Amino acid sequence: MENKPKKCLECGKELETNSHRYRYCSNRCFKKARKKYFRDYKREEIRELWLKVQKEIGITCVICNSPKDVCYHETNGKEHPRGRENQYLKHYLENKASFVPICRKHHWIVHTLANIRITSSENEKILNLVSKILANRTD
Ligand SMILES: [Zn+2]
Ligand SMILES: [Zn+2]
Ligand SMILES: [Zn+2]
């Protein structure tokens, strides 16, 4: 039985019958296919990590319960992890007691207040003034 001519899995070009190459017409196509494979593999890994993080740490903001634009805030005042997506997702999972889900708006408020570094006596007076504004607001 004669073997059907095979085609390159990457570009579709017909492979030479006596080609020692099994599935790709050239090194270029092989490298291209390998790159795609690793990209998909990584994407799948990241997707699974996200699902795990959402399941184990939560998906709604600890302040307002919204599931929109949620990220993960480090609660011990340590720096937030940086680096590649799969690295910081793993970091969340390994330290999940230290992270809470929080929406973008409330995350911004938390860090803005932290950056202002107001004292607690200032804080009390400011909140007092803010509450009066809120009490008289009609919108
Ligand atoms: Zn090819
Ligand atoms: Zn929120
Ligand atoms: Zn944060």
At residue 73, φ and ψ (nearest 5 deg) are -105, 135
- 22 CA → ligand 3 middle, Å: 51
Q: Is residue 99 one of the residues assigned to a domain?
A: yes
Q: Is residue 19 one of the residues assigned to a domain?
A: no
Distance CA 118, CA 131 (A): 17
> Which ligand has the nearest atom to the CA of 30?
1
Position 1 scores a pLDDT of: 46
* Owning domain of residue 83: 58-136
Q: How many distinct structural domains can be found in the chain? A: 1
Q: Is residue 24 one of the residues assigned to a domain?
A: no
Q: Is residue 33 one of the residues assigned to a domain?
A: no
pLDDT average per 10 residues of sequence, the chain (139 residues): 71 77 85 94 94 97 96 92 89 96 96 83 88 88
Q: Is residue 47 one of the residues assigned to a domain?
A: no
Radius of gyration of the chain measured on its C-alpha atoms: 27
- Tokens 């997707």 appear where? 47
Q: Is residue 34 one of the residues assigned to a domain?
A: no
> Which ligand has the nearest atom to the CA of 8?
1
Position 30 scores a pLDDT of: 92
Q: Is residue 5 one of the residues assigned to a domain?
A: no
- 41 CA → ligand 1 middle, Å: 21
Position 3 scores a pLDDT of: 59
- 12 CA → ligand 1 middle, Å: 6
Q: Helices marked H in the chain — which ranges? A: 27-57, 85-94, 104-116, 120-136
Q: Is residue 21 one of the residues assigned to a domain?
A: no
